[in-house]
Structure 1
Amino acid sequence: MPRIDAHQHFWKLSRGDYSWLSPELDVLYRDFLASDIKPLLTEAKMDGTILVQAADTVDETRFMLGLAAEHDWILGVVGWVDMEAEDAPKIIRELAENPKFVGIRPMIQDIPDDEWMLKDTLRPAIQTLIDENLTLDLLVLPRHLLHLKTFLKRYPDLSCVIDHGAKPDIRNEAIETWSQHVADIARTTTVRCKLSGLLTEANDQASIEDIAPYAFHILKCFGAERVMFGSDWPVLLLANTYQNWLDMVEQLTADLPQADWEAIFGGTAANFYLTKTMETL
């Protein structure tokens, strides 16, 4: 089974479509491309990654697919499409002609309407994702979880994964409501969850002890077969290093059976994103 980082990003500032990136973000305000992460992947013994959108443009999706064509260790690309646009189904089908295009991610956390995901205007795009055997990454916050439960029940045939554990407010130790919603969603739907992004939701210099209650809850609720490791690099650099985050997750999962460990560090991501290309890995 390949060892996969299920969530990382690239960006090139001169492209000009990363509206959220500003000089105030300091360590993130520069180009991050394949040559920056490859030594980290080698050290981490990762066989490949899933490259996830960082801009809400189709142009960035095509940019990422171009990078994936150059680097065989970029196993899949999660892009972006305006899901409410009339031509969304057409664009999704066109992108799906590329075997490394595995799904899309709307930037739900930045959309003012918390119930956006329930709009009927999304139905044609969602049906196209289902028809093309593509996935949907859910970039949500705890306030979205009640609506997310409704969404997931509305589209049971859509393959979905929650990014970053739905970004719990670890900084303020706000676990109770988040944990209840997560448990309910895990029990009543088939959605997967990424064990990623937790350090950037915690205080500076957060320790494994700060992260553990949230990570263990995700593992308990979803089970290894529905959890996938992700670095969220380079956003991760706001909080820690690639290797340190990997070490934390390996420690948190050290007591699990080998089969569970292999699922979290590659099997779940491969089964979710790479069903069309597994035979080549």
Structure 2
Amino acid sequence: MRIDSHQHFWQPARGDYDWMPMDNAILARPYVLSDLALHLEACGIGATVLVQAAATVCETEYMLGIADATPSVAGVVGWVDFENPSDLETLKRLSKHPKFKGVRPMIQDIPDVDWMHREDVQWGFRALCDFDLTFDALGFPRHLDNFLKLLKRYPDMRAVVDHCMKPQIRSHGEQSFRVWADGMARIADQTRACCKLSGLVTEAAPEWTEADLAPYASHVISAFGAERVMWGSDWPVCRLASDYETWFATAEGFAAGLSAADQGEIFGGTAKRFYRLEV
């Protein structure tokens, strides 16, 4: 089964999508299953992982409600407040939901690049290990060293790097590529983390081409191996730079030279295994 390991639904009227520019016609509108269904059908996607886009527990409850009513949503990656130790009980409660798979602190939006190493938030990472939940690592290349340190501190934590750690493709400087590539290779070599082949189109220039993205996709697949790479649409954010079908076809092109088994891993097997999806 083909699986989209990273998509969103949201309702901006709830008022907790702090990152979202409310004057952006593409982003600042509700997105629900009926908006996505035709894209899933066109690409032969049988299941998805629904990922948080607001830093509230309300967002997590909202997504779990959607998952309860939507067979194609096989898993939910939510949010709890790592700065509030009482949310340990919230995480424990959420962990009992069969479609709740883990959490994603919105680290890319936190000004303190060292936030993940603050002692007062370590309970959260320990709890993910204790409850055997997943951690989606959302950040930028400036976070690479800190994520490596974090993942080595918690070697039993099931972690996945979101959006290839958002390389700055639009600048495409050799130095920035090398810093990113080296940091990703260290995470691949020194940890068990997986990586989502997602988010590249929105980090590229508006008139991106397949050739612009290819070095980044190739490096991720080579460094992590197909068994640790999972494709994700990042829909509807991807609509800022691409439609769903175009990004899916582009990613298929990056994997075209791989074996059928490896392609199966990238477009379904890795996500199913990592998130322990019942599909």
Bin for the TM-score computed over the shorter chain: over 0.9
Equivalent residue, structure 2, for 1:111: 110
Moved >4 Å (runs of 4+)? none
| Mapping of residues 38-49 of structure 1, within 5 Å | 38-49=37-48
- Structure 1 vs Structure 2 CA RMSD: 0.9
| Mapping of residues 96-245 of structure 1, within 5 Å | 96-173=95-172, 174-245=176-247
Instruction: Measure the CA separation in 2 of the matches of 1:187 and 1:96.
Output: 30
Once the two structures are superposed, what CA deviation does each residue of 1:66-95 show, in whole Å capped at 9, x if it has no partner? 000110110000001001212121110111
How far the C-alpha of 1:140 sits from its partner, in A, is 0.9
How far the C-alpha of 1:128 sits from its partner, in A, is 1.6
Kindly tell me the number of residue pairs found equivalent between the two proteins: 276
Once the two structures are superposed, what CA deviation does each residue of 1:81-140 show, in whole Å capped at 9, x if it has no partner? 001212121110111111100000000000011011111222222222112211000101
SS, match of residue 160 in structure 1: strand
> Percent identity between the aligned chains?
47
Instruction: Measure the CA separation in 2 of the matches of 1:155 and 1:24.
Output: 40
SS, match of residue 25 in structure 2: helix
How far the C-alpha of 1:49 sits from its partner, in A, is 0.3
SS, match of residue 156 in structure 2: coil
Instruction: Measure the CA separation in 2 of the matches of 1:94 and 1:265.
Output: 31
2:272 aligned partner, one-letter code? A
TM value normalised by structure 1: 0.96
Instruction: Measure the CA separation in 2 of the matches of 1:215 and 1:189.
Output: 19
1:128 aligned partner, one-letter code? A
2:84 aligned partner, one-letter code? A
Instruction: Measure the CA separation in 2 of the matches of 1:6 and 1:122.
Output: 26
Instruction: Measure the CA separation in 2 of the matches of 1:198 and 1:245.
Output: 9
How far the C-alpha of 1:186 sits from its partner, in A, is 0.7
Equivalent residue, structure 2, for 1:87: 86
| Mapping of residues 64-75 of structure 1, within 5 Å | 64-75=63-74
TM value normalised by structure 2: 0.97
Equivalent residue, structure 2, for 1:271: 273
SS, match of residue 27 in structure 1: coil
Quickly say closer, same or farther: Cα 1:23–1:86, change in 2 above 3 A.
closer
Once the two structures are superposed, what CA deviation does each residue of 1:125-160 show, in whole Å capped at 9, x if it has no partner? 222211221100010100000111111100001000
1:209 aligned partner, one-letter code? A
Give unpaired runs (5+ residues) of structure 2. none
1:208 aligned partner, one-letter code? E
Give unpaired runs (5+ residues) of structure 1. none
Instruction: Measure the CA separation in 2 of the matches of 1:206 and 1:97.
Output: 42
SS, match of residue 75 in structure 2: strand
